[in-house]
Homo-oligomer: A and B are copies of this chain.
Amino acid sequence: MAQDKRQVEAITPRDVDFAQWYTDVCKKAELIDYSSIKGMFIYRPYGYAIWENIQHLMDAEFKKTGHENVYLPMLIPESLLQKEKDHVEGFAPECAWVTMGGSEKLEERYCIRPTSETLFCEHYKNVIQSWRDLPKLYNQWCSVLRWEKTSRPFLRHREFLWQEGHTMHATAEEAMEETLRMLNVYADFCENVLAMPVTRGIKTDKEKFNGAEQTYCVECMMHDKKALQAGTSHYFGDGFTRAFDITFADKDNGRSYPHQTSWGVSTRLIGGIIMTHGDDNGLVLPPRIAPIQAIVLPIAQHKPGVIDAAQALLDRLQAAGIRAKMDASDNSPGWKFAEYEMRGVPVRVEIGPKDMEKGQCCLARRDTGEKTFVPLEKLEEAVAALLDAIHDNMFAMARKNLEDNTFQAETWEEVKALLEKNGGGFVKTKWCGSEACEVAMKEKVGVTSRCMPLIQTRNLGRCPICGEVCGTDIIWGVAY
């Protein structure tokens, strides 16, 4: 019990210091470790296993929608990066540059990819000749590097893991359809797999991706009422294909420029999971990506038959396709309870001599702490149903957090007062579309535009800064 207490005390409560709580969870749940280079983190087995589960499920969605995986080089010659003007302006300041190969100085320096639009364009120029070659629907799982000044586990790394889809289409309409298709894949994934409710929206020109015509995004609200951009899907039009002179023989025997998209999510999603669902006992993992969905704990395990009974439950759960483990180590039950709570394991399955007598076991859920006893013969279905119920409850709690902390306002003073009173949240207003008013919101209220929701109300109102009558709905907040 001493160990048990020590473990729990080591986490800062969320209300005391949310940032410290977050760091504590990342360390104590053994998701991440620091390396000797600032901002470059080590994904430990438990943290990486969450990413593997995300990859596995998301990759299946990509393949269902016709995408193929490829792998392109990690280095980009400076001259290649410079081909699209907005793109290089945005990324060059945060590139890491390779200048030496072995003992020789390179003739041209290469940056480690911060993103791969330019590399994909170079390759697409080789492999796209005719309309028959379109669409090209490629995706890449890799790491990218951005030389950020500040860093936080999962949220801002100098090197992070992600996927980047890059597609080419014969027409603008097809490219736009793809942009929205992938936005919806991300939105559905966040909601149905990660139990994170999202707002689908469009970024303002100020917030969009460097070189994109339009950036679509899914925005989530964290427990501390701040925003997290969970994924983005960009429509490029033919800006890059013109810059790279990529053309194809169209059906009318002319030459046309293909239209392009790119879209990505990263290990930042893990940061979102932690901050959406975690509590003062540690991580709370959405069942569908939890590396361990059920932990089997033998109680009074020195008593005859207990470990065998627990092992039998483990075997049955695994046979039923549930990711289950057993902990029969000599740590105390109290330590084990705290440990698997810290690690966010959705269901704890307990069995001891009394349970064995009664032909039952105890299921404890991580999200609510609620315990139920189930007859042994119903184990598999009870655990499977509980995993779904936990998912649904986690989603409902996160949605309540989003709804309770989303407000409507008309003037910037109202926005400010609402956010101060509530201690954060999202505020919806109208917006005239000018960047000057967007910047003024930052200066006067301390918020940035999160997105213009895809579903617009279509009624009229006034811009909270300039007061102009306008129709566009926009959401403001403080973002990670």
Interface residues of A (CB under 8 A from B): 33, 35-37, 40-45, 48-49, 51-52, 68-75, 77, 80, 93-103, 109-110, 112, 119, 122-123, 126-127, 138, 142-143, 145, 147, 159, 161
Write the chain B residue with the least CB distance to A157: B73
Check if B33 sits within 8 Å of A49, measured CB to CB. no
Check if A44 sits within 8 Å of B69, measured CB to CB. no
Known: A42-B123, A102-B93, A123-B42. A37 touches B110 (CB 8 A): yes
Residues of B within 8 A of A93 (CB): 102-103
Report which residue of A43, A49, A71, A112 has the largest number of chain B beta carbons within 10 angstroms of its beta carbon: A71
Cα distance, A27 to B445, chains bound together (Å): 57
Closest approach, in angstroms, between the C-beta of A227 and any C-beta of chain B? 26
Cα distance, A80 to B36, chains bound together (Å): 9
Cα distance, A73 to B35, chains bound together (Å): 8
Check if A70 sits within 8 Å of B45, measured CB to CB. yes
- Show 23 A/B contacts (Cβ-Cβ < 8 Å), sorted by A: A33-B127, A35-B72, A35-B122, A35-B123, A36-B80, A37-B73, A37-B75, A40-B73, A40-B75, A42-B72, A43-B70, A45-B68, A48-B69, A48-B70, A71-B143, A74-B112, A74-B143, A93-B102, A94-B102, A96-B98, A98-B99, A98-B112, A100-B109
Check if B40 sits within 8 Å of A126, measured CB to CB. no
Check if B45 sits within 8 Å of A138, measured CB to CB. yes
Residues of B within 8 A of A80 (CB): 36
Write the chain B residue with the least CB distance to A126: B33
Write the chain B residue with the least CB distance to A132: B329
Cα distance, A68 to B127, chains bound together (Å): 38
Cα distance, A243 to B110, chains bound together (Å): 33
Check if B71 sits within 8 Å of A43, measured CB to CB. yes
Closest approach, in angstroms, between the C-beta of A161 and any C-beta of chain B? 6
Residues of B within 8 A of A161 (CB): 71
Cα distance, A68 to B74, chains bound together (Å): 25
Cα distance, A97 to B75, chains bound together (Å): 12
Residues of B within 8 A of A110 (CB): 37, 96
Residues of B within 8 A of A95 (CB): 102
Write the chain B residue with the least CB distance to A122: B36
Known: A95-B102, A98-B96, A100-B99. A49 touches B69 (CB 8 A): yes
Known: A77-B36, A138-B45, A143-B74. A97 touches B96 (CB 8 A): no
Write the chain B residue with the least CB distance to A44: B70
- A-B contacts besides A45-B70, A96-B98, 12 pairs, CB < 8 Å: A35-B122, A45-B68, A48-B68, A48-B70, A49-B69, A71-B143, A74-B143, A74-B159, A94-B102, A96-B101, A96-B102, A97-B101
